[in-house]
Structure formats: structure tokens, C-alpha cells
């Protein structure tokens, strides 16, 4: 059995389409809705499915550890509440792009499917772990995301408390990151044994949590670093979710009927990003093709 761990924050109707298709494939769905968002429309849209919405929820901010925290919560609940042999992490704007038999075969490989490379301290991206960031606070808000940069960065009492805690983090980071830093794509498939082992490592390696809590974009490196340093783990393939970065807007939004032929050629079992508003016809075409195959 496959369990899908779904991070969602918009488009309840699209999430409903995703969950229904995955349910048709025999996949058990666990969903985290960003705590900044009203969960009721999502629950209503998915009420006819067997999907489980997890609690408590995390208020997620792009580039912050909050995304990792939500992922850990999803994985913890899914390992506990299902007998799944494989756990796939994906987003609420993704969708299967392979027929059922092929989809399940691709996801249920005996190895971990995760994409990453190990970066040396000389690589500029290494600064994401070497420097001290506060991206989950208003102080550390990223200016290239939605919102008015002239008003979105301000200090609150809670962020002041984080600044005090960060003083200790500076001392820790001066000693240097004690593991190999791995950077890759956010989405992955883990076997049950590896998922349980990751949760055990997360529970005991408090220093690892602190390093990544005060890092930048840790969702692209946290689980990757665990698999690189706490093995052996058998890595047998890249990430399961395809994103098109070669066309604008980047990432490309799959919304045209003409995208179907391109998606058929993608080796991954899922793709993102889709839109129920602009791409409903494409989703219908995908469903028809997958059901006929």
C-alpha cells in the first residue's frame, strides 16, 4: 500500500480531484493544510473520500523549517495510522500522470526515491546551512514572495524571543556543520523501514533540528541530509514529482490540452503544478487517458 503525504494551502477543488484519483489507485491520503488557511472548504471538498486531515497544523512560511515540521507531522501520523509500505510526499497542486498499474509500480520500488547532491562548503548554496536564518518569522520574511516588502518585515514579541535564542545558534554554527550537507528536490518516496528510521533520527538528533530550524529552504535539504549521513540507505531513483522549469511562468502551470502529450512522456508518476480553474479540461483529458490505458 502507498500513503500520500500532501502539503496543501489553496484550491480545495483541485485537492479533491487529487485525492479522488489517488483513492481510485488505492492510495491512502494524509493531508496537512497550512494553519493560516481555513480548513473547512478543504474538508468539505474531500468529504466523500477517505482522506485524513492531520492536526495540529503548522503555519507555514516559504523557505522556513515550518514546511519540514509539517512534513514530519504528516509522516508521523501516516506511519502510525497506516500499514503502507511506501510514503510519497507531494503537494496539493500535483496530480498523477500515469495509469494505475504503472503509477503504483513506479512508487513501490524497493529503494528510496529522492534527488540530491552533496554540496561542499565552497558552494554558494552551502550558506543556507552555514549562516543563521529566521525565515519562519516576520524578521526573516523573504522579499521575493507575495506581499508588500515595505510592510511585511517587522518585529513581534515572539520574534524577539527567537532573536534571543538565535544568539546560542550563532555559537553552534561557528563550530561548523558536523554532517555532509545534501541539497535536492523537496518531494520523495520513502520505504516504511526508512520512514521509521528517519523519525527515530529526528527524535534523537536535536542538534540536527536546531541547525535546520535556523537554515534557509530546509525542505530541500533536511531529509536529504538525513539519508546522506545516517545510512546506509539504498537510493534508487530521483524524486517522484515532475516540475517544468524550462517554460514560463517558472514553474510552468500545466493548464492547456496540448500539455497532455508532453506529460505522457514524463518518467515521473506525478507532476505539478496544475490548476482546477485554468486546467480542468487538461485534468479531464488526463483522467480519460489514464483510465483507458
pLDDT tens column, 238-272: 999 999 999 888 899 998 888 999 999 999 999 99
Q: Which of 229, 227, 219 is nearest to 186 (CA)?
A: 219
**What distance in Å separates the CA atoms of residue 231 and residue 197, rounded to the nearest whole number?**
10
Pick the CATH number of 2-118+183-292 from 1.10.3470, 3.30.70, 1.10.260, 3.90.550: 3.90.550
CB 118 within 8 A of CB 180: yes
Cell numbers given for 267: 518518467
Give the closest residue to 74 by CA, choosing from 157, 158, 195: 195
Residue 96 has pLDDT above 60, yes or no: yes
DSSP state for residue 33 in the 8-state scheme: E
115 contact partners, CB below 8 Å, separation of at least 6: 184, 185, 188, 238, 239
> Using an 8 Å Cβ cutoff, are 234 and 112 in contact?
yes
Flag the least confident range among 40-44, 58-62, 69-73, 125-129.
58-62
Given this model, what pLDDT does residue 279 score?
66
Query: Which residues belong to CATH 3.90.550 in the chain?
Result: 2-118+183-292
pLDDT tier at 49, thresholds 50, 70, 90: very high
The least confident of 65-79, 189-203, 272-286 is 272-286
* pLDDT higher than 90, residue 19: yes
CB atoms within 10 A of CB 28: 19
Closest CA to 233 of 120, 114, 83, 88: 114
Query: What pLDDT, on the 0 to 100 scale, is given for residue 150?
Result: 66
Look at 53-67, 133-147, 156-170 and tell me which has the smallest mean pLDDT.
Answer: 133-147
Amino acid at each position: 500500500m502507498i500513503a500520500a503525504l500532501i502539503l496543501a494551502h489553496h484550491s480545495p477543488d483541485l485537492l479533491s480531484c487529487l485525492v479522488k484519483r489517488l483513492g481510485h489507485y488505492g492510495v491512502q491520503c494524509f493531508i496537512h493544510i497550512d494553519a493560516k488557511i481555513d480548513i473547512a472548504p478543504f474538508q468539505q471538498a474531500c468529504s466523500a473520500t477517505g482522506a485524513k486531515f492531520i492536526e495540529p497544523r503548522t503555519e507555514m512560511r516559504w523557505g522556513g523549517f515550518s514546511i519540514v515540521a509539517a512534513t514530519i507531522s504528516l509522516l508521523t501520523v501516516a506511519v502510525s495510522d497506516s500499514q503502507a509500505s511506501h510514503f510519497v510526499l507531494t503537494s496539493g497542486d500535483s496530480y498523477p500522470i500515469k495509469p494505475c498499474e504503472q503509477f503504483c509500480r513506479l512508487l513501490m520500488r524497493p529503494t528510496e526515491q529522492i534527488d540530491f547532491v552533496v554540496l561542499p562548503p565552497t558552494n554558494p548554496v552551502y550558506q543556507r546551512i552555514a549562516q543563521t536564518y529566521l525565515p519562519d518569522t516576520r524578521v526573516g520574511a523573504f522579499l521575493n514572495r507575495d506581499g508588500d516588502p515595505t510592510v511585511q518585515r517587522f518585529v513581534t514579541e515572539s520574534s524577539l524571543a527567537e532573536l534571543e535564542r538565535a544568539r546560542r545558534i550563532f555559537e553552534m554554527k561557528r563550530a561548523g556543520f558536523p554532517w555532509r550537507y545534501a541539497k535536492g528536490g523537496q518531494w520523495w518516496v520513502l520505504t516504511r523501514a526508512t520512514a521509521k528510521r528517519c523519525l527515530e533520527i529526528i527524535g534523537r538528533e536535536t542538534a540536527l533540528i536546531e541547525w535546520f530550524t535556523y537554515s534557509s529552504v530546509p525542505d530541500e535539504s533536511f531529509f536529504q541530509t538525513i539519508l546522506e549521513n545516517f545510512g546506509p540507505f539504498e537510493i534508487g531513483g530521483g524524486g517522484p514529482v515532475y516540475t517544468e522549469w524550462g517554460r514560463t511562468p517558472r514553474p510552468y502551470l500545466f493548464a492547456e490540452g496540448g500539455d497532455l502529450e508532453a506529460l505522457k512522456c514524463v518518467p515521473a508518476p506525478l507532476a505539478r503544478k496544475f490548476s482546477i480553474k485554468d486546467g480542468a479540461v487538461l485534468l479531464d483529458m488526463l483522467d480519460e487517458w489514464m483510465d483507458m490505458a
